[in-house]
Amino acid sequence: MLRPMFTFGCTLVLAACAVHMPAVPMHRFLDGDLDAVAAAMRNEQANGSAENSALVLNILAQCELFLGDAEAAWRDFGAAGRIMGNWQTSGGEAAGAIVGSESSKTWKGDPYEKAMNAFYLGLAFLWRGEPDNARASLKHGILADAEVGDEKFQADNPLLFWLAGRMSTLMGKGDDADDFFKEARTANTFAMQHGSRGDASGAVLGRPDDGNLVLLVECGIAPAKVAHGDLDELARFESRWHPADRARITLDGRVLGETVVLADLDYQARTLGGTEMEGIRKGKAVFKKASLIGGVALLNIASRDRGDSARTNAIVGGGLILLGLLTSTAADVRHWPTLPATVQALTTNVTPGAHLLEIEFLDVAGRAVPELHQTWPIDVPAASQTYYLFRSLPGLDRQAAARAATVGTGRTEVHP
């Protein structure tokens, strides 16, 4: 009786190397101090858990992207994507996560996080002048998005389909583009019918191939993954408040309009569906409760008994309590905390040359949030398309201007 129990305990201890969420200085991120966040992530990469590598690389790459180093971002999003896209898992790692702590496993992200990695990597490839690899990444994201538990929600990310369509056009594949645009409209309609925000007016998806200037704007902050249940065995998402709801774009003093939502990460996270691990954790929670109750009951009997019987009950009861305490039921709540709540877009046709772009981030009531206001000088080339990505964080334009004054412009744009 005792030896098998100890063997089981041994396995539990073997698998008990739980990995926690990397220390991301979120207040710094929300203040727009991306240099500090990047430094923290480099430190995590050097000294933190290898199991968090993809998560750390994604956050670092995001900082690099918004700091104007698109090449470094391409490298790090690519490295993270290779970990996230790999289904292969060793038997030991799977056993460790099932028997011991679930968070002992390598972080690969939920489908919406994989889709966002694919989105960023796609843009990074586009900015390198490789629309075919950009499309490959977006297609990879579409497949990753289809990994959700509930089949109903397996192809509902209009952003990826729309961008894959535009990349197809750049590759000269009009038929493919039409198919992707059709899928984008279907995904948008479906997602909106199920509570997502989307392009209701067809401002972007109604004329998906239009515009030589494509502005992608990230607003808000993505939901946090938190543990619920008596023994933290359930993973749930909680929305996080942020003042930026959408953006109003002005070009050379002329208001172009407001951006429309093409990816709603609150909705994407909410519709993930269940996983097999959730069932396993629930089973472990039942076992843990039963072991602790049984152990206490046996110790109680032992305290009122004498002789060999009392000793046996005490040892078995103690063993059960030990097993109960060693059984980890907590859900793995590691998540990508620096993602936006929504990715929005606005496309327009502008005359080639230099322009001044102003972005006013608006709250839910439509009031401008002055501290998030950004002004960017942009250059639109002739006979080409330009893609820009912005984020509702304070001071990114001022940081970029200061950087450009010392090291030259490194702003993210493409002229494929």
Partner 1 sequence: MFHQRPARSVLLGLLVLATSACAGTIDRRVDPDSPDEVGGAVLQSQDIRTMAQNMARDLASSGLLTSTANNQTVTFHIIGMENQSSDVINREIIITKLETELFKALGGGRIRVLDRSAVGLDAVKREREAKRSGAVAGNEGKRGNVLGSDYVLYGVIRDRVQQGGKLKSAYYDVTFTLTDLETDQKVWQNDYETKFLSEKSVISR
Residue numbers at the binding site for partner 1 (CB under 8 A): 2, 6, 9-10, 13-17, 50, 78, 81-82, 85-89, 93-94, 96-98, 102, 105, 108-111, 121, 125, 132-133, 135-137, 139-140, 142-143, 146-147, 171, 275-277, 280, 315
Q: Which is nearer to partner 1, 147 or 232 (CB)?
A: 147
Smallest distance, partner 1 to C-beta of residue 182, A: 18
Q: Quote the CA–CA distance of 36 and 283 in Å, as a whole number.
A: 42
Q: Which is nearer to partner 1, 15 or 214 (CB)?
A: 15
Measure CA of the first residue to CA of the last residue in the chain; give whole Å: 70
Helix 111-127 and helix 53-66, axial crossing angle in degrees, nearest 10: 40
Q: Which is nearer to partner 1, 94 or 402 (CB)?
A: 94
Q: Which residues touch 398 (CB under 8 Å, ≥6 apart)?
A: none
Q: Which of 146, 66, 136, 87 is nearest to 112 (CA)?
A: 146
Assigned token pair, 55: 């998560």
Neighbours of 191 (CB within 10 A): 25
Q: Which is nearer to partner 1, 9 or 395 (CB)?
A: 9
Q: Quote the CA–CA distance of 174 and 207 in Å, as a whole number.
A: 14
Q: Quote the CA–CA distance of 314 and 2 in Å, as a whole number.
A: 12
Q: Quote the CA–CA distance of 209 and 200 in Å, as a whole number.
A: 17
Smallest distance, partner 1 to C-beta of residue 380, A: 22
Smallest distance, partner 1 to C-beta of residue 234, A: 15
Smallest distance, partner 1 to C-beta of residue 160, A: 11
Dihedral angle computed from the Cα positions of residues 69, 71, 73 and 76, in that order, rounded to the nearest 10 degrees = -140
Smallest distance, partner 1 to C-beta of residue 154, A: 9
Smallest distance, partner 1 to C-beta of residue 333, A: 12
Q: Which is nearer to partner 1, 101 or 392 (CB)?
A: 101
Q: Helix, strand, coil: what percent of the chain each, to 5?
A: 50, 15, 35
Sign of the torsion formed by the C-alpha atoms of 260, 191, 278 and 78: negative
Q: Which is nearer to partner 1, 91 or 253 (CB)?
A: 91
Q: Quote the CA–CA distance of 386 and 355 in Å, as a whole number.
A: 12
Q: Quote the CA–CA distance of 144 and 272 in Å, as a whole number.
A: 12
Q: Is 285 in a helix, a strand, or coil? A: helix
Q: Which is nearer to partner 1, 276 or 408 (CB)?
A: 276
Assigned token pair, 2: 């005792």
Smallest distance, partner 1 to C-beta of residue 200, A: 29
The residue written with tokens 């998806």 in the block is 205
Q: Which is nearer to partner 1, 137 or 347 (CB)?
A: 137
Assigned token pair, 60: 């670092």
Smallest distance, partner 1 to C-beta of residue 113, A: 9
Q: Which is nearer to partner 1, 355 or 415 (CB)?
A: 415
Q: Quote the CA–CA distance of 337 and 56 in Å, as a whole number.
A: 11
Smallest distance, partner 1 to C-beta of residue 289, A: 22
